[in-house]
Amino acid sequence: MNLKGVQLTWLGHATFRIETPAGKTIIIDPWVMNNPACPPSEKKVKKVDTMLITHGHGDHIGDAVEIAKQHEPQVVGIPELCGWLEKKGVKNTAMMNKGGTQLVGDIKVTMVHADHSCGIQDGDQLVYGGEACGYVVEFDNGVKIYHAGDTNVFGDMAIIRELYAPEIVMIPVGDHFTMGPREAAYACNLLKPKTVIPMHFGTFPMLTGSPAELQKLVPDLNVVTLKPGVTVRDSIAA
Ligand code: NI
Ligand code: MN
């Protein structure tokens, strides 16, 4: 499908950088420095206008505070998580909650459900981080994507499909902490996207689910495995 000016770069695990047609840079789940799947060339983030955070686990917010302090992007997250980020010195939080949609820069962001936990490990304290979520992002060229965050499959993915109809979905397939290929295939049947981008696999040995296993279960769908650090422009597989 034609991305119509949206540029997508997977930075490994659940982290994505997206350039909008107007040239704004979005980062989803900023974990680069200690992310073993992030290529060295991407460990230093050069520019961010908008940061979207799905939940407070370290493999999703690992570098959120540092990057937010350096680049001062608008930071979208659930209120409890944004409150914690503010305590750490992060400015420009744009908190929201599930079901809500807000315009952030040149994108429309909808926070949707995810079924996962959300404690924040802060030194030796475990802080309540609200709930885990996913995001549907609509670009001003009409392209819609869904980043599921960490989640199992849940029946209300059918509602995400009916209300928002994202063409591209980023869903976890690694198993153990999130859904694996079998649940991901079921998620695809609920979401009916044009393109599936698997994420949250292979980063650690225990994340054993693979995109190839998912592709076998959904032979009619485009499962596109991105290479970390390689930007997809113009079009994404059929
Ligand atoms: Ni998690
Ligand atoms: Mn995770």
Q: If you measure from the C-alpha of residue 57 to the centroid of ligand 1, how many angstroms do you get, rounded to a whole number? A: 5
Burial class (CB in 10 A: 0-12, 13-18, 19+), 89: exposed
- Position 237 scores a pLDDT of 76
End-to-end CA distance of the chain: 5
Burial class (CB in 10 A: 0-12, 13-18, 19+), 168: buried
Q: If you measure from the C-alpha of residue 177 to the centroid of ligand 2, how many angstroms do you get, rounded to a whole number? A: 7
pLDDT (tens place) for every residue of the chain, 238 residues total: 899 999 999 999 999 999 999 999 999 999 999 999 999 999 999 999 999 999 999 999 999 999 999 999 999 999 999 999 999 999 999 999 999 999 999 999 999 999 999 999 999 999 999 999 999 999 999 999 999 999 999 999 999 999 999 999 999 999 999 999 999 999 999 999 999 999 999 999 999 999 999 999 999 999 999 999 999 998 887 5
Rounded Cα distance between 78 and 97, Å, is 5
Domain assignments of the chain as residue spans, ordered by start: 7-225
Q: If you measure from the C-alpha of residue 55 to the centroid of ligand 2, how many angstroms do you get, rounded to a whole number? A: 8
Model pTM above 0.85 = yes
Q: If you measure from the C-alpha of residue 153 to the centroid of ligand 2, how many angstroms do you get, rounded to a whole number? A: 15
Burial class (CB in 10 A: 0-12, 13-18, 19+), 108: middle
- Please report where in the chains the tokens 């982290």 appear, as a residue: 15
Q: If you measure from the C-alpha of residue 150 to the centroid of ligand 1, how many angstroms do you get, rounded to a whole number? A: 5
- Please report where in the chains the tokens 């060229």 appear, as a residue: 141
Rounded Cα distance between 92 and 100, Å, is 18
- Position 238 scores a pLDDT of 55
Burial class (CB in 10 A: 0-12, 13-18, 19+), 220: exposed
CATH topology for the 7-225 domain? Metallo-beta-lactamase; Chain A (3.60.15)
- Position 128 scores a pLDDT of 98
Q: If you measure from the C-alpha of residue 106 to the centroid of ligand 1, how many angstroms do you get, rounded to a whole number? A: 28
